[in-house]
Structure 1
Amino acid sequence: MLYVAFLPIINQELNAKVRPAHLEYLNDLYKQDKVFMAGPFTDKEGGLVIYKASSLEEARKLAEADPVVAEGARTLELREWSPLELPLT
C-alpha cells in the first residue's frame, strides 16, 4: 500500500539544520523500496513523502523516524492513498 505524509514546516531554522539528515533518510528508504516519491512544495512551507508499506503502522514508524519529524521541525499528517489506475478507459 501507499501512504502519503504531509510535512508542513513549523520551525524553519530547525528544519534547515536537520534537512541534510532528512534527505539522507529518504534516500536510504528509497533504496530499500520504502519511498515511492518525495519532494518539497513550491511555496517552501513543507513537503510530501509517499511511503510504500505493508500497513499504516509501518508507514507511521517510517514517517515518525524522519529526522524533521523526530526533531520537531515539521508536523506529520499521514494518510493511506489509493491512486487511480489511469487511463480509466
Structure 2
Amino acid sequence: MHYVALLTIIDQELNAKVRPAHLDYLDKLYKENKVVMAGPFTDKKGGMVIYCADSPEEAQALAEADPVVAEGARTLELREWNALSFPLS
C-alpha cells in the first residue's frame, strides 16, 4: 500500500541543517523500495514523500524516522493513498 507524507517546514534554519540527512535517508529507503517518489513543493514550504509500506504502522515509523521530522524541522501529515492505475477500464 502507498502512504503520502506531507512535510511542512516549521523551522527553516533547522530544516537547512538537517536536509542532507533527510536526503540520505530518502535515498536509502528508495534503494530498499520503501520510497516511491519524493520532492519539494515549488513554494519552498515543504515537500511530499510517497512511501510503500505493508501497514500504516510501518509507514508511520518510516515517516517519523525521517531526520526532518525526528529533529522537529517539519510537521508530518501521513495519509494512506489508493493510487489509480491507468487505463481505468
Letter in 1 for 2:77: E
Q: Provide TM-score, normalisation by structure 1.
A: 0.98
Larger % of strand: which? 2
The residue number in structure 2 matching 1:22 is 22
Identity within the alignment, %: 75
Inter-partner Cα distance in structure 1 for 2:6 and 2:37:
12
Q: Any stretches of 5+ residues in structure 1 without a counterpart?
A: none
Tell me the secondary structure at the aligned position of residue 76 of structure 1. strand
Q: Any stretches of 5+ residues in structure 2 without a counterpart?
A: none
Once the two structures are superposed, residues 13-60 of structure 1 have per-residue CA deviations (whole angstroms, 9 ceiling, x without a partner) of 000000000000000000011000000000000000000000000000
The residue number in structure 1 matching 2:62 is 62
CA RMSD of superposed structures (Å): 0.6
Displacement over 6 Å in runs of 4+:
none
Tell me the secondary structure at the aligned position of residue 84 of structure 1. coil
Task: Give aligned pairs, total.
Answer: 89
Letter in 2 for 1:2: H
Inter-partner Cα distance in structure 1 for 2:65 and 2:18:
12
The residue number in structure 2 matching 1:74 is 74
Q: Provide TM-score, normalisation by structure 2.
A: 0.98
The residue number in structure 2 matching 1:47 is 47
What's the offset of the Cα at 1:85? Answer: 1.4
Inter-partner Cα distance in structure 2 for 1:67 and 1:36:
18
